[in-house]
Amino acid sequence: MEKVKSVAEFVRVETDPDNPGVAVIRLDRPKVNALNAALTAEIAEAAAQVSGDDAVRAVVVYGGERVFVAGADIKEMGDRTAVQMREYSRDLQEALNAVERIPKPVVAAVTGYALGGGLELALSADFRVAGTKAKLGVPEIQLGVIPGAGGTQRLPRLIGPARAKDLIFTGRHVRADEAREIGLVDEAVADEEVYAAAVAKVAPLAQGPAVALAAAKESVDRGLETELSTGLEIERMQFASLFATEDQKTGMRSFVEEGPGKARFEGR
């Protein structure tokens, strides 16, 4: 990561020098990227920035070499009232929803701890790559509360209700090998290889048809929220709309003239 596109107090949006279509949302709140109100707001801003930037074709969310996000800032929330926490959790959910709705492939590069809100942030990505020493979990039950930023909803959708309840009810941490086994992460690699592996996961997609990828992502995500018949209708409308894009013309012409897999898409 070299070229800096924007800098806030705790979040930078950078471009990968070797993959110009890949943007990196880099979290940097010492010491452990604990989620407070400011970091939450900056994550939402970064998500909006990469969503609206046509030069960005894929995104990596990265907390650095030591830690992804160790969880929420307990000192900040400990004395808040129920009314205040409704507002706080709403803001946090909206920030992670903004990450989930980035209309481009998104991968979370997880090193160290991804706990509580940290794991919930990782769950907002399309893919997760974790270091072998990473620890993931939703330990909120050990504080007398439950996950409040999507953990009770995204986690069972990803790994199934029984496995999700095991993690939520016990608050236990899982290492990368178990996380890979239960489908919580997609790849487990050496800690020093996490960032490179995450970029490698999405860099090829950054060369793909951007409009079609956005349509595919929306079809899958929205379809999971509804019954099959509505999901099929979402798919049908997205499929048909792509016949108005340049990439559809390019892709089908290339297939006929050159064979599969050789089209060069412009993202229009």
pLDDT at 1: 53
Residue 53: CB atoms within 10 A of its CB come to 16
SS3 for the chain is CCEEEEECCCEEEEEECCEEEEEEEEECCCCCCCECHHHHHHHHHHHHHHHHCCCCCEEEEECCCCCCECCECHHHHCCCCHHHHHHHHHHHHHHHHHHHCCCCCEEEEECCEEECHHHHHHHCCCEEEEECCCEEECHHHHHCCCCCCCHHHHHHHHHCHHHHHHHHHHCCCEEHHHHHHCCCCCEEECHHHHHHHHHHHHCCHHHCCHHHHHHHHHHHHHHHCCCHHHHHHHHHHHHHHHHHCHHHHHHHHHHHHHCCCCCCCCCC
pLDDT at 4: 62
pLDDT at 7: 72
- 10-65 pLDDT tens trace: 999 999 889 989 999 999 999 999 999 999 999 999 999 999 999 999 999 999 99
- Of 1.10.10.10, 1.10.260.40, 1.10.12.10, 3.40.50.720, the CATH number of 209-258 is 1.10.12.10
Q: Which CATH superfamily is domain 3-206 in?
A: 2-enoyl-CoA Hydratase; Chain A, domain 1 (3.90.226.10)
pLDDT at 247: 87
C-alpha distances out from residue 59 to 81, 100, 101, 170, Å: 36, 11, 12, 32
pLDDT band at 210 (very low <50, low <70, confident <90, very high): very high
- 101-110 pLDDT tens trace: 999 999 999 9
Q: Contact 25/46 with Cβ under 8 angstroms? A: yes
pLDDT at 3: 63
pLDDT at 257: 86
pLDDT band at 259 (very low <50, low <70, confident <90, very high): confident
pLDDT band at 172 (very low <50, low <70, confident <90, very high): very high
Domain spans of the chain, in order of start: 3-206, 209-258
pLDDT at 77: 75
pLDDT at 174: 97
C-alpha distances out from residue 240 to 228, 229, 230, Å: 18, 17, 16
Q: Is pLDDT of 128 > 90?
A: yes
- 1-12 pLDDT tens trace: 556 677 789 999
Percent of the chain beyond pLDDT 90?
A: 80
Question: Rounded to the nearest 10 degrees, how much is the dihedral formed by the CA atoms of 122, 135, 202, 51?
Answer: 20
- 77-94 pLDDT tens trace: 777 888 888 888 899 999
Residues marked active site are found at: 120, 140
User: 266 vs 114, which has greater pLDDT?
Assistant: 114
Q: Is pLDDT of 198 > 70?
A: yes
Q: How many Å is the maximal CA-CA distance in the chain?
A: 66
pLDDT at 2: 54
